[in-house]
Amino acid sequence: MTDSLSPILNLPCLIPSLMSNVTLSNITKKVRTVTALDDVSFHIKDGEFFVLLGQTGAGKTTTLRVIAGLEKQDAGNVAFDDEPVNALTPADRDVAFVFQQYSLYPTMSVYDNLAFPLRSPVHRIPETDIKRKIEQVTEILRISHLLDRKTARLSGGEMQRVSIGRAIVRDPRVFLMDEPLSNLDAKLRESLRVELKHLQKTLGKTILYVTHDQIEALTMADRIAVLNKGQIVQEGTADDIYDRPATTFVAQLVGSPRINLFQAHRENGSLVITGSDVRVVTTHALPEAFLLGVRPEDVRLAADGQFPAEVVLAEPLGVETVLHLKSGNQTLIALVPGMSDAKIGDVVKFSIANDKLHFFDTNRKRIQTT
Amino acid sequence: MASFAETGPRRPVVESIRVDKVSPGARTTGAVRAMVVVIVALIMLIPIFVMLATAFKSRPDVSASPPKVFFQPTLEGFLYLFTDRAIIAPGRMAEFQAKADAGAMGFLERLAFDTGQEITGPSAYVGRLTNSLIVAGVSTALSVLLGTLAGYAFSRFNMPGKDDLLFFILSTRMLPAVVVTIPLFLMYRQMGLYDTHLGLILLYTVFNLSFAVWLMKGFFDEIPREYEEAALVDGYSRIQTFLKIVLPQSVSGIAATTVFCLIFAWNEYAFALMMTSERARTAPPSIPSMLGRGGIEWSAIAAGSLLFLIPVVIITFALRKYLLRGVTFGAIRQ
Amino acid sequence: MATIQLKQVEKRFGEAYAVKPLDLTISDGEFIVLLGPSGCGKTTTLRMISGLETVTAGQILLDDKNVTWLHPSARDIAFVFQFYALYPHMSVRDNIAFPLKAQGETKELIDERLKLVVDLLRIGHLLNKRPGGLSGGDKQRVALARALVRRPAAFLMDEPLGALDADLRESMRAEIRELQLRLKATTVYVTHDQIEAMAMGDRIVVMSAAVVQQADTPTQVYYNPANLFVAKFIGSPGMNLVQGNYAEGIVRLPGDNQYPLPPGWQNSITRGENVILGFRPESAHVSPEGMLQGQVYATHMHGSYTMLHLNMEGDNVVHVRADRSQRYPIGANIRFDVDAQMARFFNPQNETALRQHQEQSRMTNDGLAVSNSQSSVSHSQSYE
């Protein structure tokens, strides 16, 4: 498969390829009276896979549309390679947009869809070059057999492959992708994720990828920016975001199942999860009351575990099993590898990985403990 | 894959009784339902049938009581429709009588003799039908063209007072047409638009436009913006995007709008009656005028109505594939 | 609650089968999941049970009563739809009370039942709202309440979580399962999401192309798939499947990899035969002395672990679950082992699973050995 990607690297360059650093500085955007983007700044390096992660309505898509020029910001700057592009129309910005759905023209064949951006009056490319380029791209994406079909007759996965193909044929400076995989079923999503990531690495293209799916963000991104209510909450690598979440919001956004978050307090040099039997000796300097975060995989079941708990629900997922454990008045979620044989009603023992605890203050901000 | 096709339940099913494909009960209800539908459809079609039959009846058959279902078809109605006739002077009746006695009478002469009327020339009906075609065709084309452009603008662009403007457009439909005919008539006479094709075309276009704008806006609203935005990013201008991407997708909407506009312009009676006299008069007001001269020519009226229906029926049929999709557009969501 | 039996139930549209003759017995209080890709016949099956779709042939029994030709309203079952199907013009209270009012129940009884389900689902604060203003999760809770309030003999659910976002789906999944266990409600649940099926079902009925591929517990379906379809469909990612050739106690795999045939399989596979080796990502372990090796094609960080995509040769990419604390650069060669107990083999021709002959080495945790040994007879016959 690595070999099949090489043709595109020595494609005759139809459009001069430029460096593509993208810089957003202090972007603010209001939609009617609501602030959709509030002082958003970030920098995407050339060849980087950058993911904007956030929930519905966080402002991810608006950010993408501002970069594409489909929407105008109220304040702030968008620059490609340090050159402001604020005044340019979408057609002149040389970006490719891959939408969640609905972007293939239903009245055209797959071939015409792929040719459409190349036939644009901006580029003026001879039809023979278009044909050659399309053949190469369709081979890479394994959609050559679909060229004559009407797009309405494609499956979801094929459609999204064609959409990505339509972006690739252009060889744009930046790919902007708006949840391109979210309408596909899980299996397909998984495999296209791998393909897309691999494609990006081999082509060395810059991708800004928007998603609400934390797994997608963790697995694909070189760097992630977490967006909440129009503001960037944290920016960093997948490890940064997962292991050192800046706020409880980020902690809860990444990781499946969700992180366990409890009210906790100090008691004679130990920390105690309020309302449960869980009590951990700690040397960290912590305030009197705080929030304790424990990732489900850091709740470990063991015969010599410290705390007893009752299994309230077991959800075998295959690769791992989710157990809902009741300790005192609190329910903890534990994640154990493989298919667990724990049954509902069983009493089990568990411990908590002391070195993997997350502490948050009452403002839900991370308490640094190093 | 057949070898595991029968991978069954854990507990084997002991007995397995197959039942009839469709139970007798279900079959009867189905048949009853179908019959009811057919009967209702037949009842609905009675007026059409009466019109069709009357158009081909002879004068005595039309007024026969009880009405005749089986009769000798004749083209008398159409003949009356397309001709003007005069009552034969009493003196000349003898001439006809003589010919009749000799048995050397042609079809037209026999008819003239039987009815006491003689054909004097072609009637104005053909001209009126042509007027109808011109006025309805041009005004429909204009309404759809302008409605499509305006509907797209209303659907896609933000402008101050957009909602108010939309309702303002609709206000042209808030008064019954008759209310405005008198002032319009006076204005038209002043401007030299009275009894002209242009006058009627303008009138129908304006009247249909509000409807077309609303309808087309609805259809455009249903087309996801992503298509256009993809094309914009791909290097196309707004107008190119509209022509290449949006229009091909709104064919069914345009078809539905066309049919609705056409039906209105084709059938319109009040304005046509008031604003025209001879030159530009359309078919609808002229059909009832056949009620004159020597009694009511029912078969001629029926024939006129029949011919009048045909163009609309043809167009509706030609567009019905799009029409059905267009009319149900917003109603069905996946 | 009730038992549901399907006897040779089929649905045809002309010549095309939507569901081929299907036998299924659902016991009282059981949570059955119908799982499969879209168009496999799972929804049609559910709709036939509900009566929204008529059967072409066969019988449906509810508590031993033949309901095959009964109107949906006469079957005493509740249906929960993906898009909630709440009446937008009624308040939440009226929506929930609607089925009872339709039956002409007294006001006292309605109030009493309403209070019970509202407490159960914790939606008391929503009662006077209109459905339009509710979040997806709350809408589905109200839809569940409307199904519960009738106390039907069985629940049929058609992808009830399909319209919710991932996070909410996870918590609603646990909520529905807990509720079902508490009420011991016989439930037939349709989904295309294998995670949902695994997490919720007592048994999973895997369907594809109008045919039941396997009907068994999540553990069995996961570790002992009946054929390649099930092996690929269940699990995210699916089972690793590598084509190989068997000779002299060794399965030769692509990229000069050799895997010694685990004990118990010798009689199932003959020399020189092509077989497909199947194993789950968590049944493989990265180790410097591993018997197999592959080149890192991609690594996926999953929070609690890293999923390695190792290319053995050609397009043979396998997934191996690995420790997140280690680094695996793209292109590096990684050695790994596959747990002998967890290795599975498939016949590449008819795509079905091969069975071990010595049953003692099987891992089973319920009484499934019976049905498996039965099928192993028929399968092994075709190989000898």
Task: Please report the pLDDT score of residue A8 as a whole number.
Answer: 42
- Compute CA B139 distance to the chain's CA centroid, rounded to the nearest angstrom: 14
CA of C203 to nearest chain B CA: how many angstroms apart? 10
Q: Is A131 on the interface with C (CB under 8 A)?
A: no
Inside any domain, residue A331: yes
Residue B103 in this model has a pLDDT that exceeds 80: no
Claim to verify: residue B100 and residue B222 sit in the same structural domain: no
The 3-state DSSP class for residue A295 equals: coil
Inside any domain, residue B10: no
What does the block give as tokens for C154? 């069985």
CB-based contact C4:C186 (threshold 8 Å): yes
Q: Is B23 on the interface with C (CB under 8 A)?
A: yes
Q: Which residues of B touch A102 (CB under 8 A)?
A: 224, 226-227
Say if the Cβ atoms of A120 and B248 lie within 8 Å.
no
Inside any domain, residue B136: yes
The CATH number assigned to the domain holding B198 equals 1.10.3720.10
Claim to verify: residue A121 and residue A238 sit in the same structural domain: yes
Claim to verify: residue B80 and residue B217 sit in the same structural domain: no
CA of C104 to nearest chain A CA: how many angstroms apart? 38
Domain boundary among A196, A213, A247: A247
Q: Which domain holds residue A239?
A: 3-247
Claim to verify: residue A275 and residue A243 sit in the same structural domain: no
Which of B215-229, C190-204, C353-367 has the lowest average pLDDT? Answer: C353-367
By Cβ distance, the residue of B224, B231, B233 closest to A102 is B224
Note the pLDDT tens digit of each residue in A54-63.
Answer: 988 899 999 9
By Cβ distance, the residue of A317, A338, A344 closest to C198 is A317
Q: Which residues of A touch B245 (CB under 8 A)?
A: 105
Q: Which of B22, B35, B120 is nearest to B79 (CA)?
A: B120
Given strand C274-279, what is the order of strands in its sheet? C257-260, C250-253, C240-247, C274-279, C344-346
Note the pLDDT tens digit of each residue in B183-198.
Answer: 999 999 999 999 999 9
Claim to verify: residue B303 and residue B166 sit in the same structural domain: yes
Inside any domain, residue A255: no
Inside any domain, residue B1: no
Inside any domain, residue A365: no
Output the CA torsion C309→C314→C316→C319 (10° steps): -10
Q: How confident is the model at residue B102 (pLDDT cuts 50, 70, 90)?
A: confident
Claim to verify: residue B140 and residue B97 sit in the same structural domain: no
Number of C-alpha atoms within 13 angstroms, CB side, residue A143? 27
Claim to verify: residue B168 and residue B311 sit in the same structural domain: yes
Say if the Cβ atoms of A319 and C178 lie within 8 Å.
no
Say if the Cβ atoms of A194 and C300 lie within 8 Å.
yes
Domain boundary among A196, A226, A247: A247
- In chain A, which residue ranges form alpha helices assigned H by DSSP? 6-9, 60-68, 110-115, 127-141, 156-170, 186-203, 214-220, 238-243, 248-253
- What is the chain B residue with the closest CA to A171? B234
Q: How confident is the model at residue C130 (pLDDT cuts 50, 70, 90)?
A: confident
Q: Is A324 on the interface with C (CB under 8 A)?
A: yes
Q: Is A34 on the interface with B (CB under 8 A)?
A: no
Inside any domain, residue B233: yes
Claim to verify: residue B171 and residue B299 sit in the same structural domain: yes
Please provide the average confidence, as pLDDT, over all residues in chain A.
Answer: 87
Report chain A's C-alpha Rg in angstroms. Answer: 24
Q: How confident is the model at residue A157 (pLDDT cuts 50, 70, 90)?
A: confident
CB-based contact B120:B84 (threshold 8 Å): yes
Domain boundary among B60, B93, B122: B122
Inside any domain, residue A252: no
What does the block give as tokens for C20? 């081929």
Q: Which of A215, A295, A255 is nearest to C236 (CA)?
A: A215
Inside any domain, residue A272: yes
| String of DSSP letters for A187-211 | HHHHHHHHHHHHHHHHHT-EEEEEE
Total structural domains within chain B: 2
3-class secondary structure for chain C? Answer: CCCEEEEEEEEEECCEEEEEEEEEEECCCCEEEEECCCCCCHHHHHHHHHCCCCCCEEEEEECCEECCCCCHHHCCEEEECCCCCCCCCCCHHHHHHHHHHHCCCCHHHHHHHHHHHHHHHCCHHHCCCCHHHCCHHHHHHHHHHHHHCCCCCEEEEECCCCCCCHHHHHHHHHHHHHHHHHHCCCEEEEECCHHHHHHHCCEEEEEECCEEEEEECHHHHHHCCCEHHHHHHCCCCCCEEEEEEEECCEEEECCCEEEECCCCCCCCCCCCCEEEEEECHHHEEECCCCCEEEEEEEEEECCCCEEEEEEEECCEEEEEEECCCCCCCCCCEEEEEECHHHCEEECCCCCEECCCCCHHHCCCCCCCHHHHHHHHHHHHHCCC
Q: Which of C192, C194, C266 is nearest to C225 (CA)?
A: C194
- What is the chain B residue with the closest CA to C6? B13
Claim to verify: residue A274 and residue A238 sit in the same structural domain: no
Q: Is A213 on the interface with C (CB under 8 A)?
A: yes
Note the pLDDT tens digit of each residue in B267-292.
Answer: 998 888 888 888 888 888 888 776 55
Total structural domains within chain A: 2
Inside any domain, residue B245: yes
Q: Which residues of B touch C8 (CB under 8 A)?
A: 16, 18
What does the block give as tokens for B105? 């009478």
Q: What size, in residues, is chain B?
A: 334
Entry pTM: 0.74
Q: Which of C316, C320, C291 is nearest to C308 (CA)?
A: C320
Gap between the Cα atoms of B301 and B304, Å rounded: 5
Q: How confident is the model at residue B174 (pLDDT cuts 50, 70, 90)?
A: confident
Inside any domain, residue A254: no
Inside any domain, residue B229: yes
Task: Please report the pLDDT score of residue B321 as a whole number.
Answer: 80
Q: Is A170 on the interface with C (CB under 8 A)?
A: no
Q: Is B16 on the interface with C (CB under 8 A)?
A: yes
Note the pLDDT tens digit of each residue in A109-129.
Answer: 999 999 998 998 877 888 999
Q: Which residues of C touch A315 (CB under 8 A)?
A: 173-174, 177, 198-200
Inside any domain, residue A267: yes
Note the pLDDT tens digit of each residue in A170-227.
Answer: 888 899 999 988 877 777 788 788 888 888 887 888 999 999 989 899 989 999 999 9
The DSSP bridge partners found for residue A11 are none
Inside any domain, residue B12: no
CA of B155 to nearest chain A CA: how many angstroms apart? 16
Work out the average pLDDT over C249-262: 90
The CATH number assigned to the domain holding A329 equals 2.40.50.140
Residue C167 in this model has a pLDDT that exceeds 50: yes
Inside any domain, residue A368: no
CA of C4 to nearest chain B CA: how many angstroms apart? 12
Note the pLDDT tens digit of each residue in C8-20.
Answer: 999 998 888 999 9
Claim to verify: residue A76 and residue A212 sit in the same structural domain: yes
Q: Which domain holds residue B311?
A: 125-327
Note the pLDDT tens digit of each residue in A241-275.
Answer: 999 999 999 999 998 889 999 999 988 888 889 88
Residue B295 in this model has a pLDDT that exceeds 80: no
ipTM surpasses cut 0.90: no
Domain boundary among A184, A213, A247: A247
Claim to verify: residue A181 and residue A66 sit in the same structural domain: yes
Please provide the average confidence, as pLDDT, over all residues in chain B.
Answer: 81
By Cβ distance, the residue of A238, A258, A315 closest to C301 is A238
Claim to verify: residue A187 and residue A276 sit in the same structural domain: no
Claim to verify: residue B249 and residue B100 sit in the same structural domain: no
Q: Which of A342, B4, B16, A315 is nearest to C371 (CA)?
A: B4
Claim to verify: residue B115 and residue B132 sit in the same structural domain: no
Domains of chain C: 4-228 (3.40.50.300), 238-381 (2.40.50.140)
Q: Is B333 on the interface with C (CB under 8 A)?
A: no
Say if the Cβ atoms of A254 and C303 lie within 8 Å.
yes
Claim to verify: residue A178 and residue A39 sit in the same structural domain: yes
Gap between the Cα atoms of C315 and A156, Å rounded: 23
Task: Please report the pLDDT score of residue B294 as a whole number.
Answer: 58
